[in-house]
Chain A
């Protein structure tokens, strides 16, 4: 199943010009547990083509949220950037099939 169909919402946004942060709102504890187990940091790092050591992972059970942050592979507003606010980056994760 695709992550975006299981989770309530997957969103992304810049955290300053040099970082992107992605929030997976799982919806409830059961889905939170499932997603936390199914979605490894290595998978997320590979999707966004960043080094796994640079990927921060936060599991927040009080909100049933799984959060990832990593340095932007292209800097915000540089000529290579396609998404000034980083808000569509979440789609890549939302469209990932969970094992």
Chain B
């Protein structure tokens, strides 16, 4: 026996080849699984509970996948709805799903898995010792948990299997591990557990494990002894190198992957080309944990930001840009204290020299004089109003500040009016822990709803 999973792309919203999807449908998969989330774009998405990808793009792609699902009569799963996987983003995908179902006249059973965590539950886990820090260890107190604007737990295969058991045509999962939605059905069907997780890890970024990454669509066959991965675009190939190299990607440890309930060990995995397109993988191991743990992600506010950008082109200022921002920083600090009665403990001015060292900062080793320099000033303060007030105070000095006291005032290039751009709230990740659950559903909620096509 074998279970066939079609993975259309690494994430909903990134795109896939229609032709490759068509080839994937012809291969008659048992399930279609796609991921919707990531922390890779930073803490703002979790902090505010927003999607990185446009709703119109997600809808257009989801429409194609719902069409494919109806044609095949198999379940369709998305994990980590709306980038961050908070409850609101599950509802966001549910709304898109209802609209498309109505348009197509599809009758459906939808299962929604909610991953958002009430503060009280996380505090209870912490107080009862059902909580463990991961490396690097971040110091966390009970008060810190209260400061989170959103906390999610990453679901594994067990929660998705519950949704499939409920007879769902479409599963909309909140935050889940990238691999869980792919591994869930093969494991439920009794295939090799290690092969299911390993195959899921290889295919979770779609065709990134092939020679044609942007084609998106890959097919995963998991059986009792291993798995086979095949890209669906006509001109894409998987080789033992492209497949095994994917274990390096975004993994601190390329041989071990921690998942809810256990650890995948691929140290002795064997990768073999079985034809021009497909790679067969055997020899991975699954080590079951004694307790069932799920990882947490949390974000909280870290102030409000406003940015200003000035361009220096005049040679003398470009050559002396570092001294200029040092002098300007000192001047502004005094002025903010005098005029706004604020001291640096309550706000932050951050100057970056674009064209010189904006990317690497103090680590930059190259020291050449560029044609021009962009001076990006980021103001961070405790409220949006304070941040904007400080930025407005800085504005005329970013425009006219001289290198020395006794010289005519220069005027630099401002590309925008107003020069201040409110960036809104800054968020930070601040939890790097797992919690132990009494049972896999303890931190998750499963709801089902039926959509009846009318007419």
Contacts and interface: CB of A to CB of B under 8 A. Distances in A.
Contacts of B361: 82
Given A13-B250, A67-B248, A77 B363 contact: no
Contact of A63 (B41, B241, B348, B378): B241
A31 interface: no
Given A21-B251, A69-B252, A77 B245 contact: no
B245 to A, nearest CB: 6
Contacts of B252: 15-16, 19, 21, 56, 69
B428 A88 contact: no
Contact of A67 (B241, B254, B303): B254
B255 interface: yes
A82 B357 CA distance: 10
A17 B39 contact: yes
B243 to A, nearest CB: 11
Contact of A56 (B249, B253, B302, B429): B253
Contacts of B138: 18
A33 interface: no
B245 A75 contact: no
Q: Is the interface of A mostly helix, strand, loop or mixed?
A: loop
Contacts of A38: none
Interface in A15-53: 15-19, 21, 23, 25, 48-49
A83 B39 contact: no
A75 B40 contact: no
Interface in A80-99: 80, 82-85, 88, 91-92, 95
Contact of B360 (A14, A84, A92): A92
Interface in B418-443: 426-429, 432
Interface of B: 39-44, 135-136, 138, 241, 244-245, 248-255, 297, 302-303, 305, 348, 350, 352, 358-361, 363, 365-366, 378, 380, 426-429, 432
